[in-house]
Amino acid sequence: MTNKSTNIKDVAHLAQVSTATVSRYLHGELKRMAPTTAKKVAAAIEQLNYVPNAAARQLITNRSKTVAIVVVNVADSFSTEIFKGACSVLEPAGYTTAMLDTNSEQQKENQLINAVGLSTYDGLILQPLSSDVAQIKSEIRRSMPIVTLDRHLDYSPWPQIISNNFEASQEAAKYFQKHGYTRAIVLSSQIDVASTRQERFQGIKSVYQQVELIEINETHYNHQQVYCQLEKLLTASSEKTVIFSLKERWLIEFLPALIGSGILAAKNIQISGFADTTLVPAIWPSAKMIIQNPYKMGALAGQTLLKLLNNKQDIQPITTIPTTFK
């Protein structure tokens, strides 16, 4: 058990160094002291059986060396790739990165942002649910370096990293129109709640005046009902048709049954949409997908946050990471 009365001053006194030196030692900044100094500090910690009190240490250094990454859904590979990308930059810089999950719930996003503000994190990378800058600001009760990504925020005070959602789906739609696909069916989660979906939908509508839309409520939907709706649309016409999913999940969920039913093979149907993995072409090789690069977005968000943490000036307000179509 820890000797509760031992503190960083006792260690500094015994080692005959400053408390700042002990703090540097505890943070692993060994390059900033002579090897003999490090040895003296280690010996003093050992002798006193000293266990650093994180809260006390942070009062001294005013740095926790931890960063929070608040994502929309840890079950989506898009979110976990953002996290892995950010880790790839922040960890070599000495930061521990923690992922927090809003589970696509606005109320939970508010709570988590508030909790991050009240906690000891040095910075925040946020994949926001809504586009309401005022709401986010009101939850953060202190000044703190923040970078947002994925969903675009208007008039944001924080740097943001986004995909070219509109251009990417416009380009894809143009490709299919050029190849004789006269009809477009769009599969999507509720469009009006996310700026990314709005941009993607607008990109398609800028090419196809008429779009048949199946909008799925993510938390309350009946699989069989959605499938029947899709099947009915597909069998209603013999036109060349592209099914365009604004979210990979819906293709992964409905494609196997469509393949099983034989409709896809029998008809002139092309599969497309946004994807974060290679699952769709693995199931249906002729699918042509728009691939985002969430890992790169996360890495760039990490780099930008590091600049903010180190008070660097050359920070772009908005950086767009292009998608690929293949």
Binding residues for a second copy, rule: CB under 8 A, are 1-2, 26, 51-59, 64, 66, 68, 74-75, 77, 80-81, 83-84, 87, 96-101, 103, 112, 115, 118-120, 141-143, 252-253, 256-257, 260, 279, 282-283, 285
| Cβ 180 to a second copy shortest distance, Å | 26
Angstrom distance (rounded) from CA 81 to CA 204? 26
Nearer to a second copy, 191 or 283 (CB): 283
| Cβ 235 to a second copy shortest distance, Å | 21
Nearer to a second copy, 204 or 309 (CB): 309
**Which runs of E-coded beta strand occur in 180-277?**
183-189, 211-216, 241-245, 269-275
| Cβ 45 to a second copy shortest distance, Å | 9
Nearer to a second copy, 201 or 295 (CB): 295
| Cβ 74 to a second copy shortest distance, Å | 4
Sequence-distant (6+) residues with CB within 8 A of 186 are 201, 204, 211, 212, 213, 214, 244, 245, 246
Rg of the chain on CA atoms, in Å: 25
Nearer to a second copy, 127 or 131 (CB): 127
Nearer to a second copy, 100 or 207 (CB): 100
**Angle, alpha carbons 240-250-214 (nearest 5°):** 60
For residues 257 and 229, is the Cβ–Cβ distance under 8 A?
A: no
| Cβ 59 to a second copy shortest distance, Å | 5
Q: Which helix (H) or strand (E) holds 321?
A: strand 318-321
- Of 192, 59, 67, 179, the C-alpha closest to 122 is 67
